[in-house]
Amino acid sequence: MISVNTHEVKAKLSEYLAAVEAGEVVQICRRNVPIAQLVPLPKPETGPRPIGLGPTEEGYDIPDSFFEPLPEDLLQAFNGELPDPLLDESLAPALKAAEPTAKGYAGKAGA
């Protein structure tokens, strides 16, 4: 472990960060009294992430149907090839009833 005072850390921060990257622990002191430590973070995993919730030995199995293509109607909905149900003319009166009127705004502005 490397022990340094705050003034030295400010002057040579990049050197101490390089030491931390190499696995060292740097203890930072104020007037030779420890106040903090710089420690290396764990290395991130570099391998590919497994598909699913967890390893199969924990009871999570991915069914073969997971890898099958989506149904045609669902693909069309995702691609915007089906009509939008919110823009359907049969729903228009219900949607307009929820919109505030200009009179409602005028009443609030005058109050």
Report whether 31 contacts 8 (CB < 8 A). no
Distance CA 55, CA 38 (A): 34
* Per-residue pLDDT reduced to its tens digit, 29-80: 999 999 999 999 988 888 887 666 555 566 667 788 889 998 998 888 888 8
pLDDT surpasses 80 at 13 = yes
* 0.75 surpassed by pTM: no
CA 71 to chain CA centroid, Å, is: 29
In the prediction, which pLDDT does 26 show? 96
* Per-residue pLDDT reduced to its tens digit, 70-104: 899 888 888 888 877 677 666 556 555 555 666 65
Q: In the chain, where do the E strands start and end?
A: 2-5, 26-30, 33-38
Let me know if domain 2-38 sits in CATH 3.40.1620.10.
yes
Domain extents for the chain?
2-38
Which residues 6+ apart lie within 8 Å of 36 measured at CB?
27, 28
